[in-house]
Amino acid sequence: MKGENSMARPKSDLLSWEGSWHEIAKAIANAVLTQGGTDEDVRAILKNKQLATDIAKLLIAARPGAVETASYSVTVSDRTLAEMIEAGHYDWVNSDIMFEESVKYFV
């Protein structure tokens, strides 16, 4: 239908003043102050969209049943994958690893 959004987010009681905004803001402010932060650190949530997004990700990751994920950055020199594996002096090499000899890996 016109004007309907099939992917609409569910309504949240927190988006109205009937929600628990005061208690949530107080809990966040107290946690920041306890860690040595200031009121300005709390206000940064309003000015810094990435900070607000990062906080949202933390909240979602902390809920029961959330799957914890990790990512790592690796820096390597100008070597092929085969050269890197050889330089590692590993006890074994997984035969499922496939690579192109001419490709250099930079991260």
3 within some domain: no
The residue with tokens 């690796």 is 74
Q: What pLDDT, on a 0 to 100 scale, did the predictor assign at position 18?
A: 61
Structurally, how many domains does the chain consist of?
A: 2
Same domain for 54 and 86, yes or no, is no
Q: What is the Cα 99 distance to its own chain's centre?
A: 29
User: What is the domain range of residue 30?
Assistant: 16-61
Same domain for 78 and 106, yes or no, is yes
* pLDDT tens per residue across all 107 residues of the chain: 455 555 566 667 666 666 677 888 889 999 999 999 999 999 999 999 999 999 988 888 888 887 766 666 666 667 777 777 788 888 887 777 766 655 555 54
Same domain for 56 and 76, yes or no, is no
Q: Write the DSSP symbol of residue 80.
A: B
What is the rounded CA–CA span in Å between residue 55 and residue 62?
A: 11
Same domain for 77 and 98, yes or no, is yes
Same domain for 53 and 83, yes or no, is no
Same domain for 80 and 56, yes or no, is no
Lookup: tokens for 27: 């809990």
Has this prediction a pTM greater than 0.85?
Answer: no
Using CB atoms within 10 Å of the CB of residue 82, give its burial: 0 to 12 exposed, 13 to 18 middle, 19+ buried: middle
- Most distant CA pair in the chain, distance: 63
